[in-house]
Amino acid sequence: MRVPADSDFTSRLRSAAVTARVGLWLGICFGVAFVTGLVSHYAQVPDQPVPFPTSPSWGYRVTQGLHVTAGTAAVPLLLVKLWTVYPRLFARPPRGARRLVVTAAERASIAVLVAAAVFQLATGLANAAQWYPWAFSFRSTHYAVGWIAIGALVVHVAVKLPVIRRALGADVDDTSQDRPAATEAGVMSRRGLLRATWLATGVAVLATAGSTVPFLRRVSVLGVRSGDGPEGVPVNRSARAAGVTAAATSPAYRLSVVYADRVVSLSRDDLAAMPQSTQSLPIACVEGWSAGATWTGVRLRDLLDLAGAPAGHDVLVVSLQESGAFRQTHLQSNFADDQRTLLALQLHGQPLAIDHGYPCRLIAPDRPGVLQTKWVHRLEVQA
């Protein structure tokens, strides 16, 4: 077998008219994933110059559902788009030093774009299924490569702008921008290929989105979670994996609320004897699954009042976990003072299951799931 040449690809389906139309939606998907990714990143930054909002309570759930959905939709779009431009890989380099340099630079930018795009989709999909077959840190690497992908995408749009404009301004069957070799009718029309692409994209979303859109659960046969779990809510990290089972079920368990030199110590019974509040707040994981839930427990603000802490202070929420990146989390003052923020003792009217954070867990509106600390042991009001 020999290496194919550009002229070997004769189908009229491999046309800029198709590439631009699929590329437009691919660009939209990457744009949505980038912006929603930034939202999630900012929500997890401890020191926020502009406080992350507590309302709407479903804001984080919707943005992260969109993040994973956009990434999923991008898979068929990227595959079809790369198929339409595949012959370009075998195009002969131009003559003349100057044109050669320009072509080499353009090719390099496309190599970066394809590498970053495939990397983001592959690592993102693996992360949603909690599969980590690599040594690098997922979160910070996916974040860094996200900037590289969006940068390379913007460069690509700038380079191709005249082609994109002409293609989108003309009929899909227009052949004025086709390669000279692309003269044969394909197996279907260009409109047919576009319809097949939209169909594949829609099917990919329906087959997976049930992990975050409850009414799709029965359809989403390839979703990472069915939505079942203790008390009807899935679990991200079990008590066993966190190594807290003994400490969480011990009769010696006490919650400490600390403000300056004052320490209030409370058993779970003490917490249950306090005025209870019930809130409907979603639990929305960074990995893209989410569930609506009804939580009952003590308002966090009431606990801070017990220790005499005034409003406007951030709180360090410490778990019984002895290790792990989310052993302790930083709760900004706008979340700590929000009337909906609870130290929950019950989920859906049942005592909190140990995998959901028994004896008590934090649940706040519009907050990433990893920061909704389980098995809470200490609340330290920051100076």
Residues 146-185 interacting with other proteins (rule: CB under 8 A): 146-159, 161, 185
Question: Which residue in the set 93, 96, 133, 275 belongs to the binding site for other proteins (CB under 8 A)?
Answer: 133
Burial of 162 from C-beta contacts in 10 A (0-12 / 13-18 / 19+):
exposed
- Per CB under 8 A, does 355 bind other proteins? yes
Question: Tokens 């802490």 belong to which residue?
Answer: 309
Q: Based on the shown chain and the rule CB under 8 A, indicate whether residue 114 belongs to the binding site for other proteins.
A: yes
**Backbone φ and ψ of 11, nearest 5°:** -70, 135
- Token look-up 């495939």 returns 118
Give the bridge partners for 331, in sequence order. Answer: 315
Q: CB nearer to other proteins: give 257 or 285.
A: 285
Size of the site for other proteins (CB under 8 A): 86
Q: Which stretch binds other proteins (CB under 8 A): 47-55, 196-204, 275-283, 331-339?
A: 196-204
Least distance between other proteins and beta carbon 257 (Å): 30
Q: Is 187 in the site for other proteins (CB under 8 A)?
A: yes
Q: Considering Cα of 235, then 241, then 242, then 247, what sign does the dihedral take?
A: positive
Any contact of residue 28 with other proteins (CB under 8 A)? no
SS3 38: helix
Q: For 299, list phi and psi in degrees, rounded to 5.
A: -60, 135
Separation CA 63–CA 69 (nearest Å): 10
Question: Binding string to other proteins for residues 222 to 251, with x set by CB under 8 A, is what?
Answer: xxxxx-xxx---xxxxx-xx----------
Name residues contacting other proteins, limited to 38-57 (CB under 8 A).
Answer: none
Supply the minimum distance, in Å, between the C-beta of residue 378 and other proteins: 25
Determine the Cα–Cα distance for residues 313 and 303; give it in Å rounded to an integer: 13
Question: Taking CB under 8 A as the rule, which mask of x and - marks residues 58-97 in contact with other proteins?
Answer: --------------x--xx--xx-xx--x--x--------
Segment lying near other proteins (by CB under 8 A), choices 45-53, 138-146, 174-182, 360-368: 138-146
Q: Scan for tokens 């009431």, then name that residue.
A: 302
- In whole angstroms, how far apart are CA 251 and each of 175, 266, 267, 273, 276? 77, 12, 9, 17, 22
Q: Least distance (Å) from other proteins to the CB of residue 45? A: 14
Q: Min. distance of Cβ 236 from other proteins in angstroms?
A: 8
Contact residue for other proteins among 46, 51, 192, 214 (CB under 8 A): 192
Angle, helices 190-208/59-85, rounded to nearest 10 degrees: 150
